[in-house]
Amino acid sequence: MITTTGLTKVYRSRGREVTALDGVDLHVREGEVYGVVGQSGAGKSTLIRCVNLLERPSSGTVTVAGQDLTALAGRGNRAGAELRKARSRIGMVFQHFNLLSSRTVQSNIELPLEILGVSGKERERKALELLDLVGLADKAKAYPGQLSGGQKQRVGIARALAGDPKVLLSDESTSALDPETTRSILQLLRDLNQQLGLTVLLITHEMEVVKTICDSAALMKGGRVVESGTVSELLATPGSELAAELFPVGGEPSGPDRTVVDVTFHGDAATQPVISQLSRTYNIDISILGAAMDTVCGKQVGRMRIELPGRFEENVVPIGFLREQGLQVDVADVKTPAPADELLKDGAK
Amino acid sequence: MTWAEMQPLLQNACLDTLFMVWWSTVYTILGGLPLGILLVLTDRGGLLQNVVVNKIVGVVVNLGRSLPFIVLMVWLIPFSRFVVGTSIGPSAAVVALAIGAIPFFARLVETALREVDHGLVEAVQSMGGGTWTVIFKVLLPQALPSVIAGLTTTIIALIGYSAMAGAVGGGGLGNLAIVYGYQRSETGLMNITIVLLIVIVTLVQLAGDLAVRTLARRGGRQAAPVGLRRLFAPARTTAKPVATVPAQAEAPEAAKLS
């Protein structure tokens, strides 16, 4: 639905060059919620603004719904009629809502329809329908200044949907909201994604957002996408930084001669009570050092750090058992605390 | 001087002042608004970024603002004759007043438009809006309260300048005060003129404030008392918990051009 290839953006100011995007290839499938995460300055904002060409990429192409937008851009800074038409089919939601304070809520939602040249009656019908969809039917005549942050973002979403877009871009849309409001806005985005088949590309710095609604995610660092894929693909990737961020586990072994393994649950195996099976089958005691689990679509997804008694060599069979169950098992690289008695012996010498 | 003698003089002077201020205001809006918009759009990072146009317009505006008004008025005599067919009288004064006020108002419009959040411009662009849409649906409506406040300041400045219209035989209250009050020592007439000018300026300021307030309230902001009521309004001690938008900018002090 959204494809970028070799997207590069270089800012030039006073002879200095700053590379905000460095060859970004992104592929967002139709109907999925795709999250791009990264720290400030990683290029997320530039990326999303390049998708509807609010920012002109220095090189590379952007294709949205089969249409090569970069080819429509033309030269110069002004957007031609074709690009503007293409933009009207891409909704965008902003961190600071960007509602016009001089217009009522209804009139704000009508704005994109005015640009499209829709007649007055039709605009009103559509605006009220959208307000109903985002749960603000009673606020049509209010001004944005009278609404709370969450309500403003709902208006922002309704406005973004006015042109019946297939794609919704969300630029940190929940970053200015409190956690509870964030959840309700994410829920709304999820509902819209499912009800309308909307493809959502969102950027955020909150892992929680990705965890809550994203089907796929990408991690950006220094203008590059360093990891990307569906959430379970990422979990299945050994050493995936994004998976570790999404499902962070920690914990130190409780003593020497212990084997610490990280077990990653994804896919069908996650529904089996494997840990208790392991314990019963091999009659071993398992302690859980840390776990980050979530139930997504009825399946448990996440990671767990467990400790098995004995050295690694003694645990080859139980680890093999876990792997047979279709789980991904990594022996965690944690420092075993130096055995205290050996230290004492060394000291005695 | 008796009231019977003063009355026709005052009446004519009032009408002349109103005539000059009204028409010069109309032309100032027609000239200053587009210039102000142009200054913003052609600036670096603007929608129609164009360094050359921006520099030229900027220089012209600064030139217009740097000339003392009385000099501008006299200098413009040939131009007034060319435009309105005469170099004396209120019509000729209107030409000079408008040309003097256009750069002033253009700068105020520029400042007002710059205050508009760039995010709003971006939002409209992301909907597929072009430059005209941005100007008429975002910049002007959002900046309207500030533009009205700037216009109020400009009109009051114009009332002040119109006092110099006597230099080209424009008449008006200011001229009356100088000719009768100063040159003929008719203190009574001068005092009446001054009171009239104060009344006119106050009315304009109140009307401007009221318009700004009404527009600001439309945006759901908390309304502050208007004009004289401001003096008697009790100080607000309880802060509103939600949506405390900074109070609408007051009209800047009527700045003098020269």
Beta-carbon separation of A102 and B142 below 8 A: yes
In sign, the C-alpha dihedral spanning A107, A79, A153, A149 is negative
- Over residues B57-66, the mean pLDDT reads 89
pLDDT at A297: 59
Task: Give the pLDDT score at B256.
Answer: 41
Q: Which residues of chain B have a Cβ shorter than 8 Å from any chain A Cβ?
A: 47-49, 117, 119-120, 122-131, 133, 137-138, 141-142, 144, 215, 218-221, 242-243, 245
How far apart are the C-alpha atoms of A58 and A60, rounded to whole Å? 7
Q: How many CB pairs under 8 A join A and B?
A: 89
> Does any CB of chain B come closer than 8 Å to the CB of residue A145?
yes
Measure A47 CA to nearest chain B CA, in Å.
Answer: 14
Q: Do residues B69 and B76 touch, judged by C-beta distance below 8 A?
A: no
* B140: pLDDT strictly greater than 70: yes
Average pLDDT of the residues of chain B: 83
Choose from A12, A56, A98 for mutation: most chain B CBs within 10 A: A98
What digits encode the pLDDT tens for the residues B194-246?
899 999 999 999 999 999 998 887 765 544 444 455 555 554 444 444 444 44
Which DSSP helix (H) or strand (E) runs through B104? Answer: helix B90-114
Alpha-carbon gap, residue B242 to A161, rounded angstroms: 27
Alpha carbon separation from A163 to A86, A93, B217 (Å, rounded): 11, 13, 30
Residues of A in contact with B130 (CB under 8 A): 78-79, 81, 84
B164 vs chain A: nearest CA distance in angstroms? Answer: 39
User: How far is the alpha carbon of B95 from chain A, nearest alpha carbon, in Å?
Assistant: 35
User: Inter-chain contact A98–B119, Cβ cutoff 8 Å?
Assistant: yes
CB contact under 8 A, A52 and B126: yes
Per-residue DSSP letter, A77: S
**A225 — phi, psi (to 5°)?**
-85, 115
What pLDDT does A310 receive?
Answer: 85
Check CB contact under 8 Å for A116 and B128.
yes
Alpha carbons B72 and A50: distance in angstroms, whole number:
50
pLDDT over 70, % of chain B: 84
Q: Which residues pair with B140 in a beta bridge?
A: none
Name the 3-class secondary structure at A243.
helix
User: What Å distances lie between residue A131 and A96, A104, A154, A158, B208, CA to CA?
Assistant: 19, 12, 8, 6, 35
Radius of gyration of chain B (CA): 21
For residue A294 the two structure tokens come to 């979530």
A102 Cβ under 8 Å from any chain B Cβ: yes
Residue with tokens 């406005």: A159
Alpha-carbon torsion, ordered B122, B125, B130, B131, to 10 deg: 0
Using a CB-CB cut-off of 8 Å, the residues of chain A touching B124 are 111, 115
pLDDT in tens, B75-101: 888 998 898 888 888 888 899 999 999
Q: List the single residue in A with minimal CA-CA distance to B140.
A: A102
- Residues A346 and A338 sit within 8 Å (Cβ to Cβ): no
* B131 to A78: CB separation less than 8 angstroms, yes or no: yes
**How many Cα atoms occupy the beta-carbon half-sphere of A138 within 13 Å?**
0
What chain B holds in terms of domains, given with CATH numbers, is: 3-231 (1.10.3720.10)
- Residue A147 φ then ψ, to 5°: -105, 160
Please name the residue ranges forming H helices in A205-339. Answer: 207-213, 231-236, 241-246, 274-282, 316-324
What global pTM score does this model have? 0.80
CA–centroid distance for B255 within its chain: 10
Q: How far is CA B170 from the centre of its chain?
A: 20
- pLDDT < 50 regions, chain A: 347-349
Among B116, B121, B127, pick the best mutation site for testing chain A contact (most A Cβ within 10 A): B127
Please indicate whether, in this complex, the C-beta atoms of B142 and A114 are within 8 angstroms of each other. Answer: no
Structural contact between residues A106 and A140, judged by C-beta atoms closer than 8 angstroms: yes
Cα A199 to the chain's mean position, in Å?
13
CA A161, A166, A171, A176 torsion: positive or negative? positive
Domains and CATH numbers, chain A: 2-236 (3.40.50.300), 247-331 (3.30.70.260)
CA nearest to B1, candidates B193, B194, B195, B187: B187
